[in-house]
Structure 1
């Protein structure tokens, strides 16, 4: 029984896994990929494998194939893969179900015709069964006794049946529309509503042109943000697979092909930039700054203690800056200061929630981050303080000349302060008791108490206008 690795035994592809690992750790080495490829695909895989390590224990295996292998003990079980021999041997050692490993090395890329020839020479024509998942496996099936089509399309099974007896099929799992909705994190688009804040703060509700531009800016941020989320998930695969909830994300769980993600991420970003240019060229520059910051965050900054939460707070504030630039509104010192403090509090709340979750699982550190469970009291103190400072900034704003010029009854705004104090305390108390979602902003959008606070704050702001 001979089994392919990528896409068959594994619901992923080790070539793309290793390229992403290389990009995550040493991004400049990606410039060498074309030169390595000129020497052949086998050389490319060898050069990458010599520079990266993969945690094979957390990879998304297809348990149906693993179970079938464990039940097949009467004949030799062979892992035959185009992946590099280093990773193939590690997978075989981890699973403990293989008697032999055949894989690519520096000289031979063991796929397609090369794989078919290697298996026929070792086991004879029609002397082996083969499990595969793609059209490139057809030459192997043509020389096999029986075929097992795993995670392939019905069309592939029909093509295999033309050259060999198909002993069984294991249909593909996941990868539908709902899976892509989850991968693009449509629910996270709530954060991009911040681009409308300058429109509301400047009381330009009835300025049709400003409203249209704000809507375009909102859509541009949505597209770019989804591209960033996909890219971040691709770069964060090892850490996500060790997280109790993030391991279920589509790319980490192997429910979507990594190659599709590598295409979708830049396409979404380009679509966002194109729409931003239509809205306002200066806004497009802000969006580029947002994208560059998120890329730096994904590659490096998220691993640096405290820098990561400041960057997260800055990304929220960049959405507000983008909304102001898009409609040509003057950036308010008070709004920017309030934004930095309130979102710094929420960013720390996110880290506090993650640490609390791993503490409950008996771990000591967050994978891919610089925090340990011993940091929980400090993060709680700093985060709640930042939230209360945001309320102080808002209180000082109420009596400022800017507020007096915008509101007929600015004293009404004072009623917002106790609501904000309650809301911040409520979020931190909920997290302390283990009831917080991974993302505090998404939690706030679905939490009844938070919804009531938001509604009342909006009504009070309208009442203050006059």
Structure 2
């Protein structure tokens, strides 16, 4: 049962929490041991908070998940992890996340509380409201970046925040399109309000906005002055490839798995991400 319980925590989804680490990298604080430790703690806080949310959602939706061809294999829906254990673990992880966030300061504590609150509202109500459902999920990415900045603490560029917001919307709209094409509307009622054509328009808007925001951040005078170089613009092609590859996986592969799960097992995406990370580190730590 231990393996099933760990699977219920969705550790593969913890990759989303790398957004928490963006401020410590772009603020050039990687050599600051104290800042690095606080950023790592903030990362752990959101791993615990995210797992608490996943457990709670799976617990609430277990009856519906049992009628889904893929989700019925989730540990709680399959009956491998008892509901009582899932509920206790969700409460404990949520409490631990808040306690650890408190050690990082009132601002981080408030942000984690807001993150948990939005997800609870999403589970009960917001997931049924068209467009609002996407905005609610995307807000989690933005909260991660702001919390990572507050944990150090350091100011974060407005361009970086905008890029995060648009990238998050791109990921969530793409996920909705993937779900719609898999005929998931029987379980996710809000999909009846979406269509492939409408989602394609939304994806086009936020894709362009994310790329432009990142490019403007890379060439912004404040960014060039901070890094002492304009080399960050060299990473734009890697960002473009990453987005294009993700679109390819969503539109051409159309696998049954969640696009995020597909990306973390896609060699070209992983190699591209590694190259981008190495280039950013080379530029920011010089």
Q: Which of 452, 455, 461 is the aligned partner of 2:274?
A: 455
Q: Which of 103, 120, 129 is the aligned partner of 1:295?
A: 120
Q: Deviations over 1:131-162 (max 9, x none)?
A: xxxxxxxxxxxxxxxxxxxxxxxxxxxxxxxx
User: Equivalents in 1 of 2:259, 2:51: separation in Å?
Assistant: 18
After superposition, residues 59-78 of structure 1 pair within 5 angstroms as none
Q: Which has the larger radius of gyration?
A: 1
| TM-score, normalised with respect to structure 1 | 0.58
User: Equivalents in 1 of 2:273, 2:235: separation in Å?
Assistant: 10
Question: By how many angstroms is 1:374 displaced?
Answer: 6.6
Tell me what 1:88 maps to. Answer: none
Question: By how many angstroms is 1:227 displaced?
Answer: 0.9
State the superposition RMSD in angstroms: 1.9
Tell me what 1:5 maps to. Answer: none
Q: Deviations over 1:164-213 (max 9, x none)?
A: xxxxxxxxxxxx11110111112212211221110001010011111111
Tell me what 2:195 maps to. Answer: 375
Residue 278, structure 1, aligned to residue 103, structure 2 = yes
Tell me what 2:206 maps to. Answer: 386
Residue 446, structure 1, aligned to residue 265, structure 2 = yes
User: Equivalents in 2 of 1:325, 1:463: separation in Å?
Assistant: 24
Specify whether residues 464 and 260 from structure 1 end up closer, same or farther in structure 2 by C-alpha distance, changes over 3 A only: closer
Question: Is the 1:224–1:291 Cα contact (8 Å) retained in structure 2?
Answer: yes
Question: Is the 2:53–2:119 Cα contact (8 Å) retained in structure 1?
Answer: yes
| TM-score, normalised with respect to structure 2 | 0.93
Tell me what 2:87 maps to. Answer: 262
Specify whether residues 373 and 434 from structure 1 end up closer, same or farther in structure 2 by C-alpha distance, changes over 3 A only: farther
Equivalent residue of 2:168, what SS? Answer: helix
Question: Is the 2:242–2:273 Cα contact (8 Å) retained in structure 1?
Answer: no
Q: Deviations over 1:45-79 (max 9, x none)?
A: xxxxxxxxxxxxxxxxxxxxxxxxxxxxxxxxxxx
Specify whether residues 277 and 374 from structure 1 end up closer, same or farther in structure 2 by C-alpha distance, changes over 3 A only: closer
User: Equivalents in 1 of 2:40, 2:277: separation in Å?
Assistant: 20
Question: Is the 2:182–2:256 Cα contact (8 Å) retained in structure 1?
Answer: no
User: Equivalents in 2 of 1:398, 1:222: separation in Å?
Assistant: 29
Question: By how many angstroms is 1:373 displaced?
Answer: 8.9
Tell me what 1:338 maps to. Answer: 163
Tell me what 1:40 maps to. Answer: none
Gaps of 5+ in 2: none
Q: Deviations over 1:388-431 (max 9, x none)?
A: 21011111122212212222221x32332222222212212221
After superposition, residues 81-96 of structure 1 pair within 5 angstroms as none
Q: Deviations over 1:424-445 (max 9, x none)?
A: 1221222122344643333322
Tell me what 2:218 maps to. Answer: 398
Count of paired positions: 285
Specify whether residues 425 and 372 from structure 1 end up closer, same or farther in structure 2 by C-alpha distance, changes over 3 A only: farther
Tell me what 2:249 maps to. Answer: 430
User: Equivalents in 2 of 1:373, 1:300: separation in Å?
Assistant: 15
User: Equivalents in 1 of 2:98, 2:219: separation in Å?
Assistant: 39
More strand by share: 1
Q: Which of 143, 153, 174 is the aligned partner of 1:318?
A: 143
Gaps of 5+ in 1: 1-175
Task: Flag the structure with more relative contact order, 1 or 2, with Cα contacts below 8 A and sequence separation at least 6.
Answer: 2
